[in-house]
Structure 1
């Protein structure tokens, strides 16, 4: 044991430093404080019903009725207990409070990768910090994109496993790949995993080229075979998650439209280009890789009393504190809004450029090509030549929105090449031709850009948002003073210029300091260990300082305070909750009802927020609620309460709707429709209690001879769980029952007294069933095969993964062959 500690003392010391960094940066988390994150609170509101039943039953339901009148809980919260990844991630999250756990995972994963790249431990630690502290890794945390952050953190160990396998460490590499890829998939952010996959395809292509060139095709094929097996195991470990997600995606807005007249067309699948490209990185905005606030930083950066804008207000006798902060936005790029810039670090960018000159490792060409592709794809609508090719022809690419997220690949790869540059100089500095000139060229390029933005900021940028002219005109109209409005517009531009100049000068200083260290290292005036330590300090000071602008102590509040901010019931909520019947739904018009999940925390909501809501329900929203509210549709959705604001928006009131149809009823008449369009049009105006519109595709499941009038009949919901509903009814005749529950044919089953019956679709989005006369019990159970069979596959694959990884580690220790 003592020998083991001696051999691994450096690694253990570095891990200790990583933990210390997390403790210092996130000290409020140790005090029990939590981040104020709008996305997290939205998620908590979405999950409220699920968690309530989980606490009661010990198992979260696979369906929830708290949003959009009902939807699968797959993309909200589902437990996959037979997946080993579930337990590993739970262990990590239990060891450290969030977000320390995810930042430690950033650091440890990258440190593993740099060791696989044969970088010395202390330099590997610098590389880990350079990756971990990239600005958007922290901005994602601040915004509440926890799953995305975990997925990014696992990029490095996935690549480590691939590189080991390609180096003929087949068992160990495949084992690490299987485990890390299983975790990557388990954290369930398919979008960023997909972008990593694109980058890895390029790597495999380059490796194939070199295998052919070096006549090592057999070794390459063997490595691919091991990686293929590892990938299959990782996929199988996540069978339940992937199967349910795939099944659901086809029915969601990421799938095919049901109505030919919809904007996107009936044949097009995936999101629209307009939607996908809404968050596109500006071409010029990529300057933020080097100069963080060149484009104003985050949308909600605040102006202080010393700003030019504040002085203009002061000259008119006003205070900047009296002005709404969202009226004067420092960010002037083309995105609707942004939390902050993609900043990779002035130190890192300098070393990246230097790496292009000095690194001989063929990984350089992969890093360069994959980085350039990720940057060009992030430009989206600003560079459609490349983006449209991928959107139109690359499989699954059109399923994802916010294309700027492709920059997660660049933010991962750029620090790798930066550290490889220093590693090359340390190991082979004496043999690098014209190293002096290469350092000077790199300084001139990176330092020159910083100098130009500092000295001549308006040479290439105008610092005006796309809507600047309209904004100035609006100000002038509101202030009834054109000169005042124009002065404010000019002052805001000057404030943006000042911000850009300040950060440009800041970056210039870091570039010059880094160049000086590298120069001294190249000239043997500074030892490698000293240079590594100094570079590590420069990296962490540089990135830490920018990250603190967007994620700092002020981002944390006491847990009780956070709950009061987001989940304190209003008087109207309390009044509605006094209704003893719990089978009704609510439409909250005090918020954007179909883009806000908070009402779901208290009520069964016909609205909500989700990036992948059911397509059929989304079409209902677009057609029946976008222009005006269709009261008949509210009736069939059993909407008993509307919450509205008064004219001034200072208070809320409720309107009780006595005409809500209830959770189930029997209709007098069934009318068949020939198309989805006809079915949607039919519910424009109708009485849902009397008539049901059913698509003719279900006609064969209906016995028309038994379609009688309900007469003196009744039906009542007697037991409620989101994924198990029980009704009891009495009817003198065979009847057609309509249920105010969303139709989804991938797992719902219906039973009358234990005997399964067909479920029909009525009124475009609801369930219906033909029921026999008499007194009976009707049950609806959500039992998707994709989940239950997928979980069994996950269990088997998890056992195989543990055994395979254990064997690989045992074999590696037995052979005792050094890595690489």
Structure 2
């Protein structure tokens, strides 16, 4: 078979080249200058992962436990790179060596392009949709915040849908292989909330195919294809067996699993409902998909020169420095989310094309994609659509483990370009029909009506924000500025839609070549999104080495670093939402969205009250170290209150690494245990839950010292004068920790609600604790085998498809 390179190969080459170029041009400081984006969450991750990365560099081994956060926790959700894993190499090859994390945007464009090729959309339209998908503000705001795993997970979804669609389009082996590969890669990034949303999309698509199969009486064929795809998804999942099994095992012990202390009117498992739905998109806020500054933009955003707020502040006699500070960080956002980095904007032209898609796309896919759009919008509204979302939260399996539901808008912005591309393709397939021309202008009219409706709703809402602490005169000025921002962006939206409609109209009436009109419209989409993204991720967002500055040692750090012992540090400045302390020290706090549930209980019920009381007394000049017995049991040797050397306070009352309590108090429940813990003197008293241990734990005496420590291995030695319980200042976790006492395995007891305890025999003892979770080690080799199987399947699928084309 002769292949026309110009018609068959060249368009695809140019499309992929364009994806590569737009990434390297926008992110040229990263690609050519070696700079990095200042990503707050990535800096938090660096602090969290430093101990693990150092351990791997020093030993060549993966540490599966970290002592640097929250007293100690499994490391699966912080950093995990199993031996034999080939996914990093695959990603590097598939993204042509582009640097992480911007490589994800390139992969997303290629994935969207492949999906639309499966729908037989012409290359120019597919490229337009791919640009719109990758450059929406959801991706860029996520990138700015450091949500790299989320971006990658979203950008892999089109490849999953491509595999599913190809399987239902008589390309079973290619569909099977792409599905397996996409699932393998998505699960590698371990963003299970996005994977959950992906499953919802696949189910909706499957329902559409089921209806079609029923109508065509092809249910058996539907069943076979579904089984084939399920096998591919399972194979991709098995490629992450070590990672997934460890994460799922940990899940039930995290704040997303079952609760130890059930709260009134709340689920017995999963996240707190208020916490889960705290970031819920407002229904009217959905208009930001069309008009970026519809709700004022970011929570803090610079106002234009001579804004109403600036004039109001000047009229009140404010100092120029104070005025500049306010107008450069003005509270322009007036939605009901706690805060936002910017609007979720899909591109005005893309919304216009989406409406055309509703009018023109084939009925099956129009209905499927509209259902996807509606469902994801409803999910994003969260607490603003209680009857729907609270029902899902209470009854849909696993859904109560996810939070920040406004994230679902990222999935909406994946669906919109697909339907827009299908609609645009149908317009030019039926170009000569008068009905097509009428429907085209009908779509333009509907889009104009949406803009007008958005304007009416905004004025009806009154531009009121949540910043009620400002005086009335400043509130009025802010409302004026919010109104101005909205009007300016409505005008901007109208200009872009009008320009696109003009170009497409010229092509529709054969006054301009179709390909030229599509490419020009695509460039308008890109320019539009580029401009809005530049408001939030511009040249100032790149720097030489953000972590070097962020983690530079302070005089306080240097003072603590002089102590080479084993201890923990409490940074009283936002301790449980900051991982900077974890970069150098074992920390009482940290930053993680899935900390251990028992530790969260301890924070809420004991640690925070202890910290508050200690700070209050310290401000009065009374450093009551004996009054923080639970912090003492966690071996909190240093309390950090700032960056200066004089902000470091050494705690002389810490319990140390291990001790023998003189009294052991049995309790019957978690509630009784944590209440008892808050009242005892932890140096001489300990608690244990009698329901966990059949026999009473004996009181002992002796002296042990910590000889060596690694993240997942601790060695102690000493002399026990009387057989009995030794309490270790280490967090108890039932899956994987093994204790050897003088070479024989000993049972680890949970004491003091969340610490480890061992009953030690009389005499000289050597205690060795190792973290060796079988869920990980048992499955690590299997994961590598299945990954190679997926790679082989992809090569086989491509070969089969190529052979079919040759025979054709």
TM (norm. structure 1) is: 0.93
Please say which of residues 693-702 and 547-556 is displaced more in the overlay: 693-702
Hey, what's the Cα distance between the residues in 1 that align with 2:671 and 2:725? 23
Partner of 1:216: 218
Deviation, structure 1 residue 449: 3.3
* Contact 1:451 1:505 survives alignment (8 Å): no
* Contact 1:748 1:781 survives alignment (8 Å): yes
Residues 184, 430 of structure 1: alpha-carbon distance in 2 compared, 3 angstrom cutoff: same
Spell out the pairing of 1:290-689 with structure 2 (5 A cutoff): 290-319=290-319, 321-322=321-322, 324-325=325-326, 328-431=330-433, 434-451=435-452, 459-465=459-465, 467-468=466-467, 470-472=468-470, 485-559=471-545, 562-581=546-565, 583-589=566-572, 591-629=573-611, 631-644=628-641, 653-689=647-683
Please tell me whether residue 24 in structure 1 is matched to residue 22 in structure 2: no
Partner of 2:621: none
1:550 alignment partner, SS class: coil
Deviation, structure 1 residue 3: 6.9
Partner of 1:481: none
Partner of 2:748: 759
Please tell me whether residue 693 in structure 1 is matched to residue 687 in structure 2: yes
Deviation, structure 1 residue 304: 4.4
Please tell me whether residue 66 in structure 1 is matched to residue 49 in structure 2: no
Deviation, structure 1 residue 85: 2.3
Spell out the pairing of 1:781-800 with structure 2 (5 A cutoff): 781-800=770-789
* Contact 1:753 1:777 survives alignment (8 Å): yes
Please say which of residues 82-91 and 137-146 is displaced more in the overlay: 82-91
Hey, what's the Cα distance between the residues in 1 that align with 2:205 and 2:192? 20
Spell out the pairing of 1:5-44 with structure 2 (5 A cutoff): 7-29=8-30, 30-44=32-46
* Contact 2:577 2:592 survives alignment (8 Å): yes
Please say which of residues 152-161 and 619-628 is displaced more in the overlay: 619-628
Partner of 1:778: 767
Aligned residue pairs total 789
Hey, what's the Cα distance between the residues in 2 that align with 1:530 and 1:93? 28
Residues 327-365 of structure 1: CA deviation (Å, up to 9, x unaligned):
730011000000111111110001111111111251111
Please say which of residues 89-98 and 37-46 is displaced more in the overlay: 89-98
* Contact 1:701 1:758 survives alignment (8 Å): no
Hey, what's the Cα distance between the residues in 2 that align with 1:97 and 1:416? 27
Residues 140, 818 of structure 1: alpha-carbon distance in 2 compared, 3 angstrom cutoff: farther
Hey, what's the Cα distance between the residues in 1 that align with 2:112 and 2:695? 57
Hey, what's the Cα distance between the residues in 1 that align with 2:487 and 2:457? 7
Residues 817, 420 of structure 1: alpha-carbon distance in 2 compared, 3 angstrom cutoff: farther
Residues 510, 71 of structure 1: alpha-carbon distance in 2 compared, 3 angstrom cutoff: same
Residues 671-696 of structure 1: CA deviation (Å, up to 9, x unaligned):
21111111111111222222221111
2:707 alignment partner, SS class: strand
Hey, what's the Cα distance between the residues in 1 that align with 2:644 and 2:53? 32
Please say which of residues 736-745 and 268-277 is displaced more in the overlay: 268-277
1:805 alignment partner, SS class: helix
* Contact 1:348 1:539 survives alignment (8 Å): yes
Residues 283-322 of structure 1: CA deviation (Å, up to 9, x unaligned):
1111101000111111121224421111111223324641
Hey, what's the Cα distance between the residues in 2 that align with 1:194 and 1:312? 48
Partner of 2:720: 731
Match of 1:722 among 699, 711, 724: 711
Residues 699-746 of structure 1: CA deviation (Å, up to 9, x unaligned):
3366x6xx3531xx3211111101011111212321311100000001
* Contact 2:293 2:343 survives alignment (8 Å): yes
* Contact 1:359 1:420 survives alignment (8 Å): yes
* Contact 1:178 1:230 survives alignment (8 Å): yes
1:715 alignment partner, SS class: strand
* Contact 1:305 1:311 survives alignment (8 Å): no
* Contact 1:138 1:547 survives alignment (8 Å): yes
TM (norm. structure 2) is: 0.94
Residues 269-293 of structure 1: CA deviation (Å, up to 9, x unaligned):
1112111110000011111010001
Deviation, structure 1 residue 93: 7.3
Residues 615, 93 of structure 1: alpha-carbon distance in 2 compared, 3 angstrom cutoff: farther
Please say which of residues 539-548 and 146-155 is displaced more in the overlay: 539-548
* Contact 1:291 1:343 survives alignment (8 Å): yes
Residues 2, 580 of structure 1: alpha-carbon distance in 2 compared, 3 angstrom cutoff: farther
Consecutive unaligned residues of structure 1, counting only runs of 5 or more, are 473-484
Deviation, structure 1 residue 790: 2.1
Deviation, structure 1 residue 76: 0.5
Please say which of residues 378-387 and 5-14 is displaced more in the overlay: 5-14
Hey, what's the Cα distance between the residues in 2 that align with 1:549 and 1:571? 36
* Contact 1:453 1:501 survives alignment (8 Å): no
Residues 474-516 of structure 1: CA deviation (Å, up to 9, x unaligned):
xxxxxxxxxxx32211111111111010000000111111222
Partner of 2:700: 709
* Contact 1:667 1:735 survives alignment (8 Å): no
Residues 357-410 of structure 1: CA deviation (Å, up to 9, x unaligned):
111251111110111011011111111121112111111111100111111221
Deviation, structure 1 residue 135: 1.1
Hey, what's the Cα distance between the residues in 2 that align with 1:268 and 1:178? 35
Residues 250-274 of structure 1: CA deviation (Å, up to 9, x unaligned):
00000111124x3565x62111211
Spell out the pairing of 1:226-265 with structure 2 (5 A cutoff): 226-260=228-262, 262-263=263-264
Deviation, structure 1 residue 471: 2.0
Hey, what's the Cα distance between the residues in 2 that align with 1:59 and 1:418? 48
Please say which of residues 245-254 and 440-449 is displaced more in the overlay: 440-449
Hey, what's the Cα distance between the residues in 1 that align with 2:383 and 2:193? 18
Partner of 2:617: none
Residues 782, 91 of structure 1: alpha-carbon distance in 2 compared, 3 angstrom cutoff: farther
Residues 564, 805 of structure 1: alpha-carbon distance in 2 compared, 3 angstrom cutoff: closer
* Contact 2:62 2:82 survives alignment (8 Å): no
1:471 alignment partner, SS class: coil
Residues 88, 434 of structure 1: alpha-carbon distance in 2 compared, 3 angstrom cutoff: same
Residues 576, 532 of structure 1: alpha-carbon distance in 2 compared, 3 angstrom cutoff: same
1:725 alignment partner, SS class: strand
Please say which of residues 76-85 and 142-151 is displaced more in the overlay: 76-85
Deviation, structure 1 residue 451: 4.8
Hey, what's the Cα distance between the residues in 1 that align with 2:155 and 2:230? 22
* Contact 2:504 2:518 survives alignment (8 Å): no
Residues 561-614 of structure 1: CA deviation (Å, up to 9, x unaligned):
x23431122211111111121x1111101x211111111112110111111100
* Contact 1:585 1:605 survives alignment (8 Å): yes
Residues 67, 446 of structure 1: alpha-carbon distance in 2 compared, 3 angstrom cutoff: same
* Contact 2:664 2:699 survives alignment (8 Å): no
Deviation, structure 1 residue 520: 2.0
Hey, what's the Cα distance between the residues in 2 that align with 1:190 and 1:696? 36
Hey, what's the Cα distance between the residues in 2 that align with 1:387 and 1:768? 43
* Contact 2:149 2:190 survives alignment (8 Å): yes
Partner of 1:284: 284
2:432 alignment partner, SS class: helix
Residues 453, 760 of structure 1: alpha-carbon distance in 2 compared, 3 angstrom cutoff: closer
Partner of 1:103: 105
Root mean square deviation of aligned Cα: 2.2
* Contact 2:658 2:729 survives alignment (8 Å): yes
Consecutive unaligned residues of structure 2, counting only runs of 5 or more, are 612-626
